[in-house]
Amino acid sequence: MDVPQPHAVILPFPAQGHIKPMLMLAKLLSHANFYITFVNTLDIHNHFLELINQTTFNNLFPRLRFMAIPDGLPPEHPRSGPQFIRDLFISILSAAPKHKFRDLLLSLINGPETGGGQWSTPTCVIADGLISILAIDVAEELHIPVIAFRTVSASSYWVYLNIPKLIEEGLIPFQGDDDMDGLITCIPGFQSLLRRRDLPSFCRFESIENPVLQFFINQTLAMTRASALILNTFDGLESPIISKLLSFFPKIYTIGPLHALLESRIKDHLLLSHSSSNGSLREQDRTCLAWLDSQPSKSVVYINFGSLVMITPDQLMEFWYGLVNSEKPFLWVIREDLLLGEDMVNETPQELTMRTRERGCIVGWAPQEEILAHRAVGGFLTHSGWNSTLESIWAGVPMICWPQLADQQVNSRCVSELWKLGIDIKDTCDRSTVEKVVRDLIEGKREEIMKSSDDIARMARDSVREGGSSYCNLEKLVDDIRSFMSSSQYASSECNEGRKL
């Protein structure tokens, strides 16, 4: 008779930067013989299934299935553009997503597959920190343990937890005419690191009543009701801050970089990423890899501002001129929805077009992990999203940071001043600056950055090897979830009856 296996329900926030690491965790837990129900919003669910080969995916991960709940937005909503995420923050708190998630959990509890079948009653919910209120409210009602997964860095999450203190001190909100280089000294561990400009982007709203600011405050505090916290980082990078987070959570599992841990635990990772899905919600243009093959070692700067950041045509032109004037080869990801207000620059100067043909390659989306690991790439101009930052750290590629949203401001400051892995150019966008920092990085003029990049990449590799901190922490997570199955609370018949209400 088969031994019953845990069944984890995973609920990510509906954005690529959140879905990607949580899907990696789902694959790792599935590889450990867990049953996984991965819950996307309906729009993401339908789009995701169109992008993957479902037969191949099901063969590779027969214990991993996808289900969906509504996102709370009306059907006619375009679900794109600068207003989309703001609308999503509000809609995710509405009644419909919570009710549908409760109905979904009840169907998993009371469905025909429970009572000894393979897909047993959920053992736990692993919830994205940005949906913590929804997930924890429902799971607590149904007596299901909740583990929170925060897809930002430990450093960024620590700053988020200190936002109420910053409000009490009168330090936020602030406007652009304030002293942006004024030090923020009241966050323990970061007393001499952060300036106003390094705080999360939502700290720049005019009022503390702004719904986006309040969303982050409330979701961050709600997370502390979870039984444990998962972070996509590694101890060698952020241990001082991780230790401070232990005052809010009884257990913390640092299991990053997740893309590297997945490769370490599942040896045919490249086959899996090509034939199933790596969590990307966009089609990848792989022709750029052949272009990279033709470039000298460590000569190329790679540019990608992520899946959500949008820029103005003027900003695009400043970056473009800076790149071509640097006279370094560049590979630039320009999404079809990257520009604010226009689909593309109407009249691109002929000199830019000509000089880009000489040394540049532009694609709509790209296989980033493979690009950063390519021998030709010598620098990464990034928005400092946490997935991109970790992937660059793992590859040992130094960064030029141009953050725009949420946690990116904190990440970029840590990259440049704490970990010495790159150059932070936040709140700056001019061609001369771009030209200079690209030249400095590719020509190796920042020796401290090069050394730190090599050293910390080595630490990241050690963390995911057998016996490494992230490798062992994943095993602890697996063992602890298994223990939920035999816990007195989980086995309580009274609780089981309560779930059926």
What sign does the CA torsion over 59, 61, 64, 67 have?
negative
User: What's the average model confidence in pLDDT over 213-221?
Assistant: 91
Q: Which long-range contacts (CB under 8 A, 24 or more apart) does 460-463 make?
A: 460/234, 460/236, 460/237, 460/257, 460/260, 460/390, 460/393, 460/394, 461/260, 461/394, 462/236, 463/234, 463/235, 463/236, 463/256, 463/257
pLDDT at 15: 86
Q: Say which of 18, 259, 269, 374 is annotated catalytic.
A: 18
Cβ contact 302:379 at 8 Å: yes
Per the annotation, the verdict on 18 as an active-site residue is yes
Give per-residue pLDDT as tens, 258-310.
999 998 888 654 445 544 556 677 778 899 999 999 999 999 999 999 888 88
- Distance of alpha carbon 394 from alpha carbon 256, whole angstroms: 10
**pLDDT for residue 46 is more than 90:** no
Q: Say which of 71, 128, 235, 407 is annotated catalytic.
A: 128
Cβ contact 272:27 at 8 Å: yes
Rg of the chain over all Cα atoms, to the nearest angstrom: 23
**Which residue is associated with the tokens 């790149």?**
323
User: What's the average model confidence in pLDDT over 365-390?
Assistant: 95
Structure tokens at 118: 């393979």
**pLDDT for residue 500 is more than 60:** no
Same fold, 7-169+207-279+465-495 and 287-460: yes
Give per-residue pLDDT as tens, 320-348.
999 999 999 999 999 888 888 755 555 67
Task: Write down the domain spans for the chain.
Answer: 7-169+207-279+465-495, 287-460
Pairing mode, if any, of strands 124-128 and 146-150? parallel
User: What's the average model confidence in pLDDT over 376-385?
Assistant: 96
- Distance of alpha carbon 406 from alpha carbon 215, whole angstroms: 12
Mean pLDDT value across the chain: 87
Q: Which CATH number fits domain 287-460: 3.30.360.10, 3.40.50.300, 3.40.50.2000, 3.40.1390.20?
A: 3.40.50.2000
Cβ contact 363:285 at 8 Å: yes
Question: In sequence order, what are the beta bridge partners of 208?
Answer: none
Residue 53: band (very low, low, confident or very high) from pLDDT cuts 50, 70, 90: confident
Residue 2: band (very low, low, confident or very high) from pLDDT cuts 50, 70, 90: low
Give per-residue pLDDT as tens, 93-144.
887 888 999 999 999 988 655 444 577 889 999 999 999 999 999 999 999 9
User: What's the average model confidence in pLDDT over 176-188?
Assistant: 85
Give per-residue pLDDT as tens, 411-467.
999 999 999 999 999 999 999 999 999 999 998 888 899 999 999 999 999 999 999
Percent of the chain, pLDDT > 70? 90
Percent of the chain, pLDDT > 90? 61
Cβ contact 291:57 at 8 Å: no
Q: CB burial class (10 A; 0-12, 13-18, 19+) of residue 329?
A: buried
pLDDT at 94: 81
Per the annotation, the verdict on 480 as an active-site residue is no
- Distance of alpha carbon 131 from alpha carbon 270, whole angstroms: 31
For the entire predicted model, the pTM comes to 0.91
- Distance of alpha carbon 418 from alpha carbon 191, whole angstroms: 12
Domain 7-169+207-279+465-495 sits in CATH at 3.40.50.2000
Report which of 342, 435, 454, 327 is spatially closest to residue 381, judged by C-alpha positions. 435
- Distance of alpha carbon 190 from alpha carbon 238, whole angstroms: 12
pLDDT at 91: 86
Largest pairwise CA distance in the chain:
74
Element (H, E) at 35: strand 35-41
Report which of 224, 230, 219, 215 is spatially closest to residue 85, judged by C-alpha positions. 215
